[in-house]
Structure formats: C-alpha cells, structure tokens
Amino acid sequence: MKTTVLCLTRAQRLCASGLREILSVSDEIAEAVATNKPVVALESTIYTHGKLGNDLAKEHLDLVRSHGGIPAIIAIVDGRPKVGVSYQEILRMIEDKGTVKASRRDIAYLGLNGRKIHGGTTIAGTMLLAKAAGIRVFGTGGLGGVHRGGETSMDVSADLTELGRTRVAVIGSGCKGFLDIPRTLEFLETQGCLVSTFADGRQGSVDFPAFWARDSGIQSPSTVYTEKEAAFIIYAQEKLGIESGMLFANPISEEHGIPASEMQAVIEQAVREANEKGFTGNNNTPYILGRLRQLTSDKTVVANKALVHSNIIRATKVSVELSRLLSPSSTQTGSSPLSQSPISAISRPTEATSEPAPALLPVSNILVAGSVAVDLSCDYSSPKTGITTPQSHVSNPSRISQSIGGVGRNVAVAAHLASGGSGVQFCSMVGDDVAGHTVLTSLEASGLDTSSIMKLDHRQHPEGRTAQYVAVNDGNKDLVLAMADMNIFSKHSFSDHWRSTVATSKPKWLIVDGNWAPPQIRNWIRAGEENGAKVAFEPVSAEKSQGLFCPERGLPRLNLYPESSISLASPNTYELAAMHTAAKENGYFEPMDWFEVIDAFGMRGARDRFVHLTSVELTDAGVPIQTIQLLPYIPTILTKLGSKGVLLTAILGKDDPRLRDRDEEAFILTRSPPTHPVVGGVYMRLFPPVETVKDIVSVNGVGDTFLGVLVSGLARGGRVDKLVDVAQRGAVLTLKSAESVSPLLGTLTEEVQNASNR
C-alpha cells in the first residue's frame, strides 16, 4: 500500500509539535480526506490486544467499504504513526509479541526511540492521529472510563481527557459495565465533551449504554435519532470552532445484548478478584475482560464482536452523511446547515417531550420493507407454430433476460417513479456477493436511497445470499412456474436499525411484503403501528401470504377494525384463498371482536348481491366471501384478477361520504344499522381492465407496480377507488416493458396527483 507523509492543510494547522512530519498516511486516505470522502477511523488495539480473532480487521475493513465508506486503521507500525494500515500489517503486529498498547502518552516514545516497536492505538491514541490526518469520524467498541474507586485512585482512562481536547466524533457502545458510569459521564461533562445516545427506535429519554448491556440504568445526557442528525452536530461543532470531541453512544442490539441484571454478579466477582490480586492501572481492564469472558462462557466475546460491527456500520453512515454535508453541492444552495438549527437536536430530553424527533429528520411519505432480487425471465419460444407451453423434463428453447426485481424493490421503484422521484424509502437486505453489488448499483441508479439496505457479511452469515428469482413463462408470457431463493429474508431477524428508521422517517404508509418470516412481518407491522403509519401488505405468493395469519403464539396480535393493524392488502385470487385458509385454520375467525365486525355487515343471504357486483365465476370461486371474512383484519382488500381487472372490497366507516353519494349507490354491498358506532357498510366494486394488452413483454412486477402506484396516490391523500384505474395503467406499462417496473411510470405522476385530488 502506497503511503505519503501528510502535507494536508488540516494537519498543517496542528501545533508545532512536528507530528505531521512523522505521520504516514496512505495515498487512499490522503486523497479521501482532501476531497471530503467518507473516511472512518478504526483503532488497532482491538486487533492487537482484543483476542477476538485475526480476521476481525478484515471484517471491519469490508464493513466500512460495503456501507460506502473508506476505512482507515490507525496504528504505530515499526515505530511510526500510520493512518491507513493494511490488513497484512495488522497481522504482522498481531504475530509480534512485542506489540504494545499505544495511548497519547506513548506515541512520542514509540515513534522516536529508534527501536521500531509496534503499537496498537487505543481510543485516545487513535483520536489524536485521526485528527492529525483530518479524519472526523471514528468507529470503535467501547470507551474507557472512571474506574470504581476512581475518586481516590485517580484511575481515569485517557480516552476521557482526549475527548475533552480532540475534535473527533467517536461512535461506540458507551463504556463497560464494570466502570463507574455516573462518574464517567460527570467527567466528560467537565471536559466539555458532547455525549448523545442513538435512540435506536425508542421514544423519549434513553439510557446511556453499558457496552454488553443495552441499558445501564443511567439516563443519557441527550439523544440523537439519525446518522444525518449526528452529522449535523459534527458539522456545527467544527463550524463553531469547538475543539472538544463528541461521543455518540450506539446501544448494542436487543438480539446480542446481555441484560445488566445478568452481568452484575459476574462483574462484581471479576472486579473483586482484580482488586484482591493487585491488578491496577493499565493491567486492570485486560484482567477483568478476560475473567468476564471465562465467567460468561464467551458470551461477552460474542456480544463484543456484534456491537463493534454495529458501531462501525453506524460510524460509516454518519461519515457518509457528513461527506454529503461537506460536498460543494450542499454548501452552494444558499443556506448553511447551521441555519437549520441542528443544535436543537441535542437538547436534553425531558418527560414532557411528546415528539422526540426534531424537525431535521427526513420524512418519507412511503417506506417499503421487502425483498430485492436478481430476476431471470425465461420466455418459451418454440419454433413450431401453435405450441406455447414448455415441456417438462427436457430442455426448452427460450429467451432469457436478467433484471433487478424483488417484490419490495418493485413496489418501491414504482412508488418512487409515480411520486415524481421523492418521498420513498426502501428497507431490504443483500448478500456480500456479485449479485448484491449489482443490486446496490441498480438501486442507486434508480434514485432510491440505499442507506437502509443491509449488506450481510458472508463470514457472519454464510447463508446470506442475495435473493434471486427465476420465472418460466409460456409462449404467451404467462407464468408457468417460478423458482425463488429468498432465504435471506426468512432466515434473518428484524433489525433494530430498521425500527429506528421507521421511528425517525415517520412514513404515512408502510408497505410490507410477504417475503419476511412471519415474526418479522409482525415486527414490521408493529413498527408501523407504533409510529402512526398506515400499513399495506403485499402477499407475494400463495405460500408466503399465509405468513400474515400464522399462529400467534408469542407474536404481536393483529388488531381488528376499527383499530386494524393493517389498512390494505393486494392479493391475487390464489393468495387471497391461501390467506383465508390460514386465517380460518389458525383461529382468526374465532375471537368475539371478529364476530362483532362481521355481524355489523349484515351479510345474510348475500350471494345474489355478490353475483350482481362481481360475477357468477368469482362468486362460485368464493372470492367475495373470502374478502368479506378478512375485512375485520384488513379493511381494504384489492384482489388482482389479471386480465379481468381488480375487485375492491372495503369497510365504509360510519361517516364515509360514499354512503350518501348516489353515484356510489350501486357499489354499496350492505349498509350497517345507523346505530352502529363505527361501521357504515361494505363497498364492493369490480373494476374492469383499463386496457387489453395483446403484445405482453413480461408479467414480472405487474402486481407490484399496481400497488406502488396506488400507494403513491394514497400517500398524497387520495381515495382507493379513485386511484385503481391509474394504478392499472401503471401495471399496463410494466406489462409492455422488459423491466420489472416500467421506467415510463414517471409519465403518470400528474395523473396520480389529479386522481388523488378527486
């Protein structure tokens, strides 16, 4: 790796200590700092002394790059401070038994004694060298602090004093639970260091984390809600000339955290033994950490690795947001970020605060949580006239094309285009593979925000393959069969980051697709409910549609009308039947509150009305009655009928204007008694297709497009029945396109707007 002696303007403003004259900075880091690219500093002590495995540095380097940043491991290599240490150099340092820990006090000794000693830099040492190199953001594990009894022993980590004088933003999981956390926070306050904890989806005041434990029982001095907000704070600190550092505490995930109550006993034992055996000074922490590892059977190690990964990802996202703030485009718009009052975001939270998110938070009209996949479409093309169906057990001639799809991605892109290119956020997962890189490139090219796309490290998630879908179509382009590898969505748990994303973006609509495992579908729905979003469910397939109505043991309950957890669903007839069967078999039609809603419909003897409003064929297939029985859980159901149109079935509230509109009278299936407190009636309307498409190019993504366009109008305040036709027009455009979503959907933006205003 090429290196250069730092000669950047930022380093030249250092005091005349001469540090820049011996500081070695890799060419990549020097160029990145000079052009305000998102660089993330990484300490080296965790590799040289952490005993967490030799591959850890490689994992961290890959994590930063996969999330859009440039990693800068900092260390003392052969007696010289270096920024941008290679993985091979780290391995050499690990193998050298003479490698020492290097804090601020050690840099001069190691660098100028002529002995070429290696040093793994601590938080304090890393901050000092990061600042010298012009790096603003540093991702690490946890902070040193005031040791128990520190008021008499004066055993206080140099990390704390460094935070008082070196302007670098440190993202870590608080400080370890065996330290004196209240005194640590008091010390940092005296040093003038900002301490703020990421809310991570929580409301109001939050605890300062205690490394392995998500909560310490000590309230954080302030709360930060997004990476963008943290970037504003860093920017403001720099513009105001405040030289102290910033600590952004990132709590360990619920999945990997060890409760403080569980850690307390082993911490007390380890601290007591350290005192009895005389482990003090810089020998105290290593002994306690090693003893905790033994006492918890390595649980602390698993948690440690998980939280460091999370912190590095968070630090990278903060650095990416800061890079955007510092780019010329953001400073030439006529208003400085400082004028947007980012400092208001760090005010001390109080119990009276009802809305935790400050005005700076990005607001999404639509948030889509679902799959993204590489789609392969295999269209049968027999040379024999009149033969349109591929044969089984043999190779068939076909035309094979590749595109980026996935139900969630298709819905998000459709909504994005129909909304005029703004207000849509997409949450999904990809693997660390060629397909994953292709997917991310495609999403960025389409204009979608990829900040909430999780890229799974293949070392931690060897089965985390990017999803792929293969469709085999007949000669008429109708689906014959499909093969889908979507395990990445069913095998991985709901991310705390996504819960935080929903809480901070406050979408009007949250669209959830059925590719998630049933518990994750419920977690998404609950996140939407908790943050005031209306939830739409896209069933994906007959099999996966049943996940919505799985057995509820241990899962958040699906609420019924008028407090329905789900506002809308868009199944086809197969998915509708599967959902209905699952709901019936798993007891969803047994609660008394379900019977009360159904009873309010007054559905006795409704077959003739079903036939009149739909058709004999649909009625005999059970489609109308299936939608009726699901309405208490999903008060608006749009059943996609392919070339036969769309059937809308919906509960009308007591004050719905359609109950009094003569033009809507023909679609009122039933009216509830005037005395009913919430239900006004049931609306059922069969919308014919807006166009018969003869030359179909591809059926992939047609239903997804329909839902995306529809919800783009609903997010503008439109009414479902006024938006069905324009949503069908969007589906027609995709039928005529080789892409999973037609790039021409943007031509419908004005029509969507007009339909929303009717």
The residues annotated with a catalytic role in the active site are 43, 176
Tokens (6 digits) for 379: 């269209």
**Angle (deg, nearest 10), helices 720-735 and 702-714:** 150
DSSP annotation of 192: T
Q: Beta 70-77 vs 39-42: how paired, if at all?
A: parallel
Return the exposure string of 177-197: e unless at least 16 CB atoms fall within 10 Å of the residue's CB, then b: bbbbbebbbebbeeeebbbbb
CB 141 within 8 A of CB 95: no
Given a contact cutoff of 8 angstroms between Cβ atoms, the answer to whether 498 and 452 are in contact is yes
DSSP 700: T
Distance CA 407, CA 307 (A): 31
Residue that the structure tokens 């038994």 belong to: 97
Query: Distance between CA atoms of 508 and 510, rounded to whole angstroms?
Result: 7
The H-assigned helical ranges of 278-355 are 284-295, 299-326, 328-331
Q: Which amino acid is at 173?
A: S
Indicate the SS3 state at residue 387: coil
Nearest to 185 by CA among 149, 215, 154, 222: 222
Q: Which long-range contacts link 276-280 to residues 24+ away (Cβ below 8 Å)? A: 280/153, 280/155
Instruction: Single out the residue of 375, 341, 371, 374 nearest to residue 358, CA to CA.
Output: 341
Read off the tokens for 234.
């860093």
Structure-token pair, residue 493: 């748990």
Ramachandran assignment for 278, one of left (phi > 0), alpha (psi -120 to 50 degrees), beta (any other): left
Cα dihedral across residues 7, 11, 12, 15: positive or negative: negative
